[in-house]
Amino acid sequence: MAHQSESARFQALFEPALQAYEEKAGVSFAQHPLAIKLQSCDTVEAITGLFQDQAQAFGHLQGSDKIMKSIKMTVSILTKISSAASLADAFGLVRQKGLMACVTSLT
């Protein structure tokens, strides 16, 4: 029962944020070109490589190695959580939306 209420609270926080993003960006989160590319990434290396490409598009970022290490660690943790059989349903949404939050911070 507690799992359901936590999940509902989590979703209640994300839904308005996604709606605000769509209104501001003029495109749904799922239809953003980077989100579409992320859907085909199936490894931590593929995801961080995509983020690295995005970071390089902005030119030299001060402390980019440190930023990429943090992103790789975050992606790795979220990937492990979302791939655990008992947690996949509960956290599958976290992986997609959590990764998208990382992307938005880079763009």
The predicted-structure confidence for 58-83, as pLDDT tens digits, reads as follows 766 666 778 788 888 988 888 777 66
| d(C-alpha 11, C-alpha 9), whole Å | 5
Task: List, in order, residues 6 or more apart from 107 with CB less than 8 Å away.
Answer: 34, 54
Largest CA distance in the chain: 48
| d(C-alpha 101, C-alpha 107), whole Å | 10
pLDDT digits (tens, 9 = 90+) for 6-33: 778 888 888 898 899 899 989 888 888 8
Q: What is the pLDDT of residue 30?
A: 84
Q: What is the pLDDT of residue 58?
A: 72
Parse the chain into domains and list their residue ranges: 2-106
73 is written with which tokens? 């660690």
81 is written with which tokens? 């959580």
Task: Enter the pTM of the model.
Answer: 0.58
